[in-house]
C-alpha cells in the first residue's frame, strides 16, 4: 500500500503537517510528485505537536527505524540538521551523516545515522524539551536488526548520556543538547556556509579567510581539517543527496526543489528557506535552554537578592553590589574570562555575567550553555551566542517565571526612586560609579545596591556563607581530568581503562599496539595540541592548564618506566 493512500492518511493524519507542501520534493522512491502533492493538500499546515510517547507508539508499531522515519510527520522529514563529523554515540561521515530531525517546533529532536558499520546505527536518540519543568529529557530507542521484535526503551535519561550532556561536576541530572553557539558549527553541512555568500565553495581566498577567523582558537591540525572539509562539503552533500533516494532511511528526507537548486548554484546565504540551516536551529533551540537556565538560577539559595544584580547587569551592563561583596566576586579571578568572552562594546556577555555572579557562590555554570565544553571559542557572541539577542532571550525566560523581576526591569526612573525611597546621595553615588548617561540605570543601580547592602548586613561576610571559596575550589589536577576520562572509559562508552586502580592502570599504560606505541604514548599525544579534533581526548575542550599538567605527570611516569 502506498504511503499516502486514504487508509494511511486516516491513520496518521493527526500526526502530520507540512510547510510549502506544493513545493516539496518527492520524499520516497516510487511516488510521483502529483501523488505527493495530492496527499499533502489533505494535511494540516501547522507544526506537528509530536511528543516522545507518540514516537514510542510509532516505534512499537513499525519495529524498524526505516518504518518509523517513513511514518513521521512531514515537518520532521523536511527540517533537520546533517552532521558529517560527530563526537556523539552515533557516528557520522560524509557518506552516512547523522541526521538530527527537528520539526518546526524544535522541542523533540530525533537522531539517526545510516551505515551498518557505524556505532549507534540500531538506535534512535531523542531529546524532548518539557516546558512544564523547563528540562530536557533524554531517551534512546533500540531496534532489533531483524525488525521482528519490539524495540527496547532505555528509560528516562540514560546514564551514558550524562558523560557528555552535563558537567562531570554536576551532582544531579540536568542535561541539555550539545550544540555550539552562533556562529560556527564545524562538522555540520552548511555549518559555516550559512554565514557567507556564494564564493564560500569556489573561492580559495574565502575558504582561507574562514579558517583564519578560527586560527586564534584552533590548532594548525584542526585548521587544516576544517579547510579540507570546507573544500569537500558542497560536492559531498550533492553526492549524498543523489544517493539518498536509494537508501532505506535517508530517502524519507525532504527538501524543496528551489532550495536544492540554489545549493547547486552555490547560493548558500541565509536569504531563503534552508532546511538544514544551523543558524535558524540555533535561534529556535536557544530559548528552550534559556528557560532551563532561568529555572536553574531560580533554584540557587540567594536568588531573591541576586536576581536584581542579574537584571541590572543585563539592562545596564553594570554589576551593582557593595564593594565588599564585589571584591568577593572579583576574587574568583574571572576577569580574564570576561574580557575574552566579550565580542562587542558590552563589558559582559551572557556567559561572563552568569559566571561572575554565580560561580563565586559555588555553582559551575559550564553546562548552563549548550556548547560541548568549548566555552564558545568559535562563537561571535560568547558561549550563549544566538543569531538574535541572547540577552533578550534570557530576559524573556527570566520574566516568564518571575513577574516581580519583570516589574522591576520595566519600572520607570520615577517609579524606581519612589518605590525604593532612594535618597539623592544614593543616586549620586550610583551616578559616580556608573559613569553612564541613562538615568533609569542610575536609579536601577542605586536600588540594587541597597538590596545587596541589606543582604551583606544579614550574612555579615561572604566567607561565613560560602567558606574560603577561591582556595577550596582548587581541586587535584590529576583527579579532575581523570574524572572526565572515567565517565567514558569506565562507563562503557570507550575502550576500558582502569583509572581507579593504580596497579592495573600502571600496567595498562605499558601496553603496546597503539598508533604511537604504548598506551601512555598514545595518551600523551591525544592530550597534546598535535592531535586534531577527531583524535583529541577528552573529545571536548578541557582546561589547557590541566591538560599540560597531566601531560607532565604522564611524561614523568613514562621516564620512570
Half-sphere exposure of 544 (CA within 13 A, CB side): 6
pLDDT classification of 374: cutoffs 50, 70, 90: confident
pLDDT classification of 32: cutoffs 50, 70, 90: very low
What does the pLDDT look like over 164-183, one tens digit per residue?
Answer: 899 877 889 999 999 999 87
Q: Phi first, then psi: what are they for 141, rounded to 5°?
A: -115, 120
Report the alpha-carbon distance of residue 193 to residue 266 in Å, rounded. Answer: 10
Count of helix runs (H) and strand runs (E) in the chain: 26, 6
pLDDT classification of 504: cutoffs 50, 70, 90: confident
What is the reported pLDDT for 199?
47
- Is residue 484 pLDDT above 70, yes or no? no
Q: Which of 94-98, 162-166, 235-239 has the highest mean pLDDT?
A: 94-98
pLDDT classification of 113: cutoffs 50, 70, 90: very high
What is the reported pLDDT for 533?
63
Q: Which of 355-369, 479-493, 518-532 has the highest mean pLDDT?
A: 355-369
Q: Which of 187-196, 326-335, 513-522 has the highest mean pLDDT?
A: 513-522
Report the alpha-carbon distance of residue 537 to residue 46 in Å, rounded. Answer: 44
**CA–CA distances in Å: residue 175 to residues 120, 125, 163:** 20, 14, 10
Q: Poorest-confidence range of 128-132, 257-261, 278-282, 286-290? A: 257-261
What is the reported pLDDT for 550?
77
Report the alpha-carbon distance of residue 50 to residue 75 in Å, rounded. Answer: 10
What is the reported pLDDT for 144?
95
| Average pLDDT value for residue range 211-220 | 65
Report the alpha-carbon distance of residue 52 to residue 133 in Å, rounded. Answer: 16
- Is residue 530 pLDDT above 80, yes or no? no
What is the reported pLDDT for 25?
33
Instruction: Compare 535 and 269 and report the one with higher pLDDT.
Output: 535
| Average pLDDT value for residue range 294-317 | 94
pLDDT classification of 33: cutoffs 50, 70, 90: very low
What is the reported pLDDT for 224?
77
Q: Which of 27-31, 34-38, 522-526 has the highest mean pLDDT?
A: 522-526
Instruction: Compare 482 and 161 and report the one with higher pLDDT.
Output: 161
pLDDT classification of 217: cutoffs 50, 70, 90: low
What is the reported pLDDT for 423?
95
Report the alpha-carbon distance of residue 263 to residue 456 in Å, rounded. Answer: 59
What is the reported pLDDT for 207?
61
Report the alpha-carbon distance of residue 219 to residue 239 in Å, rounded. Answer: 30
Average pLDDT, the chain: 78
What is the reported pLDDT for 122?
97
What is the reported pLDDT for 526?
84
Half-sphere exposure of 540 (CA within 13 A, CB side): 26
- Is residue 94 pLDDT above 90, yes or no? yes
| Average pLDDT value for residue range 27-36 | 38
DSSP output for 507-536? HHHT---BTTBSHHHHHHHHHSTTS-TTT-
What is the reported pLDDT for 472?
34
What is the reported pLDDT for 37?
47
What is the reported pLDDT for 56?
97
What is the reported pLDDT for 7?
35
What is the reported pLDDT for 352?
87
- Is residue 210 pLDDT above 70, yes or no? no
pLDDT classification of 368: cutoffs 50, 70, 90: very high
**CA–CA distances in Å: residue 506 to residues 319, 388, 437:** 49, 51, 63
Q: What is the 3-state secondary structure (H, E, C) of 463-486?
A: HHHHCCHHHHCCCCHHHHHHHHHH
Rg (CA), the chain: 26
| Average pLDDT value for residue range 243-270 | 74
| Average pLDDT value for residue range 454-474 | 64
What is the reported pLDDT for 473?
34
Amino acid at each position: 500500500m502506498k504511503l499516502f493512500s486514504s487508509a494511511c492518511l486516516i491513520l496518521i493524519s493527526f500526526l502530520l503537517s507540512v510547510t510549502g507542501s506544493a513545493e516539496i520534493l518527492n520524499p520516497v522512491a516510487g511516488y510521483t510528485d502529483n501523488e505527493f502533492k495530492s496527499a499533502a493538500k489533505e494535511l494540516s499546515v501547522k507544526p506537528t505537536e509530536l511528543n516522545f510517547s507518540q514516537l514510542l507508539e510509532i516505534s512499537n508499531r513499525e519495529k524498524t527505524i526505516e518504518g518509523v522515519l517513513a511514518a513521521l510527520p512531514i515537518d520532521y522529514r523536511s527540517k533537520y540538521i546533517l552532521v558529517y563529523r560527530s563526537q556523539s554515540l552515533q557516528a557520522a561521515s560524509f557518506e552516512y551523516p547523522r541526521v538530527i530531525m527537528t520539526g518546526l517546533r524544535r522541542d523533540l529532536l530525533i537522531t539517526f545515522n545510516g551505515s551498518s558499520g557505524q556505532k549507534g546505527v540500531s538506535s534512535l536518540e531523542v531529546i524532548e524539551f518539557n516546558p512544564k519543568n523547563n528540562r530536557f529529557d533524554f531517551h534512546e530507542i533500540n531496534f532489533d536488526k531483524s525488525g521482528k521484535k519490539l524495540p527496547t526503551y532505555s528509560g528516562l535519561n540514560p546514564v551514558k548520556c550524562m558523560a557528555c550532556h552535563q558537567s562531570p561536576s554536576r551532582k544531579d541530572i540536568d542535561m541539555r543538547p550539545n550544540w555550539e553557539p552562533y556562529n560556527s558549527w564545524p562538522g555540520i553541512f552548511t555549518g559555516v556556509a550559512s554565514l557567507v555568500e556564494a564564493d564560500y565553495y569556489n573561492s580559495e581566498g574565502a575558504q582561507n579567510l574562514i579558517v583564519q577567523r578560527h586560527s586564534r582558537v584552533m590548532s594548525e591540525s584542526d585548521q587544516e581539517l576544517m579547510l579540507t572539509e570546507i573544500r569537500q562539503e558542497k560536492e559531498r552533500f550533492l553526492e549524498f543527496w543523489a544517493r539518498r533516494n536509494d537508501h532505506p532511511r535517508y530517502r524519507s528526507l525532504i527538501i524543496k526543489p528551489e532550495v536544492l537548486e540554489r545549493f547547486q548554484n552555490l547560493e548558500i546565504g541565509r536569504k531563503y528557506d534552508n532546511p538544514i540551516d544551523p543558524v535558524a536551529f540555533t535561534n529556535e533551540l536557544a530559548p528552550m535552554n534559556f528557560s532551563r537556565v532561568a529555572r536553574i538560577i531560580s533554584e540557587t539559595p540567594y536568588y531573591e537578592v541576586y536576581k536584581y544584580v542579574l537584571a541590572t547587569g543585563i539592562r545596564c551592563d553594570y554589576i551593582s553590589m557593595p564593594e565588599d561583596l564585589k571584591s568577593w566576586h572579583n576574587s574568583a579571578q574571572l576577569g580574564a574570562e570576561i574580557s575574552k568572552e566579550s565580542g562587542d562594546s558590552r563589558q559582559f556577555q551572557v556567559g561572563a555575567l552568569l559566571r561572575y555572579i554565580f560561580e563565586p557562590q559555588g555553582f559551575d555554570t559550564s553546562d548552563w550553555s549548550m556548547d560541548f565544553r568549548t566555552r564558545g571559542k568559535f562563537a561571535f557572541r560568547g558561549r550563549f551566542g544566538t543569531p538574535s539577542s541572547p540577552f533578550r532571550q534570557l530576559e524573556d525566560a527570566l520574566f516568564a517565571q518571575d513577574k516581580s523581576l519583570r516589574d522591576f526591569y520595566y519600572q520607570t526612573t520615577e517609579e524606581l526612586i519612589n518605590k525604593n525611597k532612594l535618597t539623592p546621595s544614593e543616586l549620586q553615588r550610583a551616578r559616580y560609579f556608573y559613569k553612564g548617561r541613562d538615568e533609569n540605570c542610575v536609579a536601577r543601580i542605586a536600588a540594587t545596591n541597597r538590596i545587596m547592602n541589606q543582604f551583606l548586613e544579614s550574612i555579615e561576610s561572604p566567607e561565613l556563607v560560602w567558606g574560603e571559596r577561591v582556595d577550596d575550589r582548587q581541586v587535584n589536577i590529576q583527579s579532575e581530568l581523570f574524572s572526565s576520562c572515567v565517565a567514558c572509559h569506565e562507563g562503557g562508552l570507550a575502550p576500558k581503562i582502569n583509572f581507579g586502580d593504580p596497579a592495573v592502570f600502571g600496567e595498562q599504560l605499558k601496553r603496546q599496539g597503539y598508533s604511537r606505541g604504548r598506551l601512555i604514548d598514545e595518551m600523551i599525544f591525544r592530550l597534546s595540541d598535535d592531535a586534531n579534533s577527531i583524535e583529541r581526548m577528552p573529545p571536548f575542550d578541557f582546561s589547557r592548564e590541566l591538560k599540560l599538567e597531566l601531560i607532565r605527570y604522564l611524561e614523568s611516569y613514562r621516564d620512570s618506566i
